[in-house]
Structure 1
Amino acid sequence: MEEKIIFYSEADNPEMIKAFHKAQETFRYFWRELSWEYRRIIPGLDLACVKVAFMEQVAHQAKPMVEHMWINQVAFDGDTISGVLINDPNELTNVRNGDFVEIPLSQISDWLFSSQGNAYGGFTIQQLRAAMGPQEREEHDEAWGLNFGDYNDILLVYEQKKHPENLIEHPMSINMKDSLVEFLKAHPLEITNQDEGGYTLLHREAIAGNRSSVETLLQFNADKNIKTSNGKTALDYAKQLGWEHIVPLLAD
């Protein structure tokens, strides 16, 4: 996927800066969807990618050179986003197409996923579309092969209009609750198991915003006080990412 317009600096464009911030504020919805996508047997997403502000300091220039480019194969641990660059830099020399990168959440400028041809997120893309005429927007969307919808009403989650409750809880978190119960009964050690970064299932479900999964783990006496190697509990991540519907569960 190649976006034709690459912004080198949006410092003088307040609306684009707002788009960057909105993408960062809502990234949790992207990750929640992708965390379930990685568990699906049959893929539900057409694409899932994150736009990153890549920077390079150039001699005799006060400000670094910046290009906003997309990564896919995205992973997220609550603090750091990682993925593979899928664009060719226009001028930067410190990254190239195919590089694996790790960046903080504050360095992303957009996120986008699509399902059944409908786009979710894409804040910078929608900012560009807002400046287009109807014909240009139609051609733009045809080039992407996606329905971006109304640039004034950006969707965050699947079937948001029909099921606004999906903003609070992902339907798979509810539908897979019985399966999680059976899994934990069969594999009780998974409740306390920590990966190499110190993350437990409770950490990962809290980061993904899955209330039903968090409730189930707590019913199986998952330890809320376990910390990752970064010194963070599941509650820390729920607060950090703004999952307000999960914070009370972990704060009790």
Structure 2
Amino acid sequence: MENNPIFFADGADSEMIEAYQKAQQTFKYFWREQSWEYRRIIPALAVSCVKVAFSQKDPTSESPIIEHMWINDIDFDGDYVKGYLINEPNELTNIQVGDYVEVPLNEISDWLFAITPATKKSTGLSKLFSSSADPLPKVYGGFTIQKMRSDMLPAERKDHDSAWQLDFGDVNDIEVVYEQKEKPENLIEHPMSRNMKEDFIKFLKEYPDEMTNADENGLTILHKETIAGNLSSVEVLLENGADRNLKANNGKTALDFARQLNWEHLIPVLEKNN
């Protein structure tokens, strides 16, 4: 992505500000998908990145220099989005490609991931004479990009999409989870969370200490599965005795994170007997 052209837009545009807000409100779905991607043996995401506004003081103006650029290798602790810059700044001198950045969730301006649609494998003559190209990875999220695409002429939009080599679809129909229309239940829980439930039960039986281990932020596995919105995993953890009252270093319980990220399907589960 670092070789893709940068498209500029008016950050004061009310529709662009609305795009920022939608990206922040739905980021939890990005993180849910990204957290499962880190567990996959075979990667599923063709692209996965978050857009952040970077700034520095402009000596020639009262207004700062602001550039919205993308970071990848994303991590998220429920409060802060972290990653590495993958764009070359145009004017900013206080940051460069490869720098590690960490920003509050309410300061991101966009996110996207893309998944290549599953296709039936052709064999024999049907494969030999097939003229259809492989489908481009389908984009999820990308609110600011869709706002910019909506302002482009058809030829400009075509050039834009060609530069990204991604299927952005309809500017007025932004999806946030895989197979959102075909399987609306995916908005509630990631299919891998449901499908991996039995394996997760076995994992906890073999490694019960994992329920109390915490990372450098004080996040336990219950915190992390809550942040990722994984209902089946949270239920299994609680059924196996995970302490819902444990607090991370910032003083937050799993329930606090569920409320903060508005994971409505997790809140009543974590509130029960609390």
TM-score past 0.5 threshold:
yes
Q: Is the 8 A contact 2:5 2:163 kept in 1?
A: no
Amino acid at match of 1:224: R
Distance 2:33 2:205 in 1: 26
SS at match of 2:177: coil
Distance 1:42 1:194 in 2: 27
Amino acid at match of 1:101: V
More off after superposition, 29-38 vs 142-151: 142-151
Distance 1:53 1:42 in 2: 32
Q: Is the 8 A contact 2:23 2:110 kept in 1?
A: yes
TM-score w.r.t. structure 1 length?
0.96
Q: Which residue of 2 aligns with 1:165?
A: 185
Aligned residue runs from structure 1 range 109-188, under 5 A: 109-116=109-116, 117-188=137-208
SS at match of 1:47: strand
Which consecutive residues of structure 2, in runs of 5 or more, have no partner in the other structure? 117-136
Q: Which residue of 1 aligns with 2:209?
A: 189
Which consecutive residues of structure 1, in runs of 5 or more, have no partner in the other structure? none
Q: Which residue of 2 aligns with 1:213?
A: 233
**Deviating 4+ runs (over 6 angstroms):** none
Distance 2:256 2:64 in 1: 33
Distance 1:172 1:137 in 2: 34
Q: Is the 8 A contact 2:46 2:115 kept in 1?
A: yes
TM-score w.r.t. structure 2 length?
0.89
Q: Which residue of 2 aligns with 1:108?
A: 108
Counting aligned pairs with the same residue, the percent is 60
Q: Is the 8 A contact 1:6 1:69 kept in 2?
A: no
Distance 2:202 2:268 in 1: 25
Question: CA-to-partner distance for each residue in 1:86-116, whole Å, 9 max, x for gaps?
Answer: 0111111111111011111111100010000
Distance 2:16 2:60 in 1: 27
Amino acid at match of 1:64: P
SS at match of 1:53: strand
Amino acid at match of 1:4: I
Question: CA-to-partner distance for each residue in 1:48-99, whole Å, 9 max, x for gaps?
Answer: 0000001112336333221000000010000011100001111111111110
Larger radius of gyration, structure 1 or 2?
2
Amino acid at match of 2:7: I
CA-based RMSD of the aligned residues comes to 1.2
Distance 1:141 1:86 in 2: 19
Residue 5 in structure 1 maps to residue 7 in structure 2: yes
Distance 2:197 2:102 in 1: 32
Distance 1:4 1:58 in 2: 21
Q: Which residue of 2 aligns with 1:35?
A: 35
Q: Is the 8 A contact 2:75 2:81 kept in 1?
A: yes
Aligned residue runs from structure 1 range 7-86, under 5 A: 7=9, 10-11=11-12, 13-59=13-59, 61-86=61-86
Q: Which residue of 2 aligns with 1:231?
A: 251
Amino acid at match of 2:8: I
